[in-house]
Amino acid sequence: MANLLLQGVRLARHALKHRLDLLVPITSNTKRRVRWPLLTLRKVLPEPKQPRGVRLRSAFLELGPVYIKLGQLLSTRRDLLPSDLADELSLLQDQVPGIENFCVQDFVNQHLGELANNLRDIEAMPLASASIAQVHTASLVDGAQVVIKIVRPGIAEKIRSDMKNLQRLAQRISDLINGADRLHLPRIIADQTTVLEQELDMFHEARNQIQLRRNFAESDLLYVPRVHAQFTRQNILVMERVYGVPVSHVEELKRQNVDLKLLAHKGVEAFFTQVFDDNFFHADMHPGNVLVDTNDPSNPRYIALDCAIIGTLETADQNYLAHNLLAFFQRDYARVVELHIQSGWVPPDTKTDEFERVIREICEPIFAKPLDEISFGEFIVELFRAAGQFNMEVQPQLVLLQKTLLYIEGLGRQLYPQLDLWETAQPFMERWVAQRVAPANFIQEWVDAGPTIWQQLLRLPSLMQANDTQINLLKSHVHQQSESLKRIEGVLHKQNSSRRYKRVAGISLIGLSTWILWQPIAQGLNNGDLSMLAGVVSAFLGSALLVRA
């Protein structure tokens, strides 16, 4: 509790310093316990000079590694954040000073034991340093050059503590601020916690890197450095050292006469290959994690670094996504709506005509533009935002895909502004769908499923017997519920009849009493005595209320 309080005080201090209170809208629905403090702050504190996006980015930078990564994640949620905030958060750089008073040789000796003798010439100064890990160059006894990635000592405990506090804070914000639930802050924090846990585990990263390297072993699209698995530990990863030009250094690539158009299209092809052919895609392809192999400028290829975050899709999501993309290419908006409902991305009671109209309004202006002016990533963002109007919940499995697509398209357009992502994507998707519906593919699916089908056939008699038992049990429960409903109906009927009799009796008694007392009342009125009338009226009203009850 004390840690949460300290964290809250720290966040409040930075929020006030950068006037982040102005990010919270005040409406007629804002709760009073939130509205009044915000109004007071806005009257007391001076107006900020910097734009709100700059202030938010500065706050994340000052708060440290966990918040920088959170800002990076939020920058990809353009379906939830305004563009100015997303643009500023996308500028966050995760570069921090190296570990203080750190001896990398001692660290390696401690965690690798005798295996450390196989690593030579370990450079004391890090080649690169980030919030979670830093990298040192070294060589093996056979002379091969490698890099050693080391997780910062103590960083795991700090990250877990910070994320736990952030989870509580996110839930509190969602409970207090109207409209905040639409941002799904608790879920975003939970997803980011999972991502950070993966980045802390070098065994996890090693497995991902080995698999991705295997997937592109025979390809000229992407190169993945080799992992020296014998040295892998929870907090150490040793891999082949690779050389290339950072993908963001476009001028250097031009100087080396690299075919940028081909490189941009290869990026798109590599992305769709990972998502649809391999169903195993690198989900952190920001410029810092991508190099370009320029040994053959006429046929360049990408080099992928940092494989901690990998995305996959369920078969159903993969199929629906592919068919959705094709439907968009063909401008079949009714099919798009149908697929969204079938996939469960929007509720089954969605008004299909209205949903189709909204999608058409988004798509038609896009198709009216020249192809090289269309941003596929922004188009997907707009689609998710529109679907949100029809109660489409955030799909975690699609968030990583959306983020990766934005990265890939951003890199491609930086290399070659005329990149037509649709031109590359449409033939790929048509080919992929055609392969999926081809007879040979159906036959192969039956062959692959053969052992499972045979096993189920052998169990068929016992399954049928079990089903009979379940059906009989269900019939018994239905009969019991039917009898119970009949008993309840009988009780309710008796109660209603009793109420009717009581009402009739009560009304009759009131009428009879009025008739009997009418003459004394009339005499009292003639003599100017109202007490008898008041008593009777009170009795009448009380009886009426009792009868009504």
Alpha-carbon distance values, 23 to 40, 52, 54, 329 (Å): 15, 7, 12, 37
Alpha-carbon distance values, 212 to 218, 274, 305, 307, 314 (Å): 12, 9, 11, 8, 18
Separation of alpha carbons 122 and 140, rounded Å: 10
Separation of alpha carbons 499 and 502, rounded Å: 5
Alpha-carbon distance values, 428 to 276, 301, 326, 422 (Å): 9, 19, 10, 10
Separation of alpha carbons 537 and 532, rounded Å: 9
Separation of alpha carbons 508 and 154, rounded Å: 86
Closest by CA to 195, choosing from 399, 342, 490, is 399
What is the DSSP secondary-structure string of 279-321?
S-EES---GGGEEEE-SSTTS-EEEE-----EE---HHHHHHH
Listed in sequence order, the residues at least 6 apart from 218 whose beta carbon sits closer than 8 Å to its beta carbon are none
Which residue in the list 21, 142, 277, 284 is annotated as catalytic? 284
Separation of alpha carbons 113 and 129, rounded Å: 24
Residue with tokens 């952190």: 284
Token pair of 81 as six digits: 């954040």
Question: What is the bridge-based pairing of β-strands 133-140 and 301-304?
Answer: unpaired
Give, rounded to a whole angstrom, the gap between the first and last alpha carbons of the chain. 52
Any idea of the CA torsion for 405, 411, 416, 421, to the nearest 10 degrees? Answer: 0
Separation of alpha carbons 345 and 395, rounded Å: 8
Phi-psi bin for 312: left (phi > 0), alpha (psi -120 to 50), beta?
A: beta
Alpha-carbon distance values, 294 to 255, 267, 298, 299 (Å): 11, 15, 9, 8
Question: What is the bridge-based pairing of β-strands 222-223 and 301-304?
Answer: parallel
Listed in sequence order, the residues at least 6 apart from 402 whose beta carbon sits closer than 8 Å to its beta carbon are 76, 79, 377, 380, 381, 384
CA 114 to chain centre: 43
Residue with tokens 């980015």: 57
Separation of alpha carbons 366 and 349, rounded Å: 28
Q: Residue 224 in contact with residue 216, Cβ under 8 Å?
A: yes
- Is 175 catalytic? The answer is no
Residue length of the chain: 549
Largest CA distance in the chain: 128
Q: Residue 260 in contact with residue 253, Cβ under 8 Å?
A: yes
Tell me the catalytic residues: 284
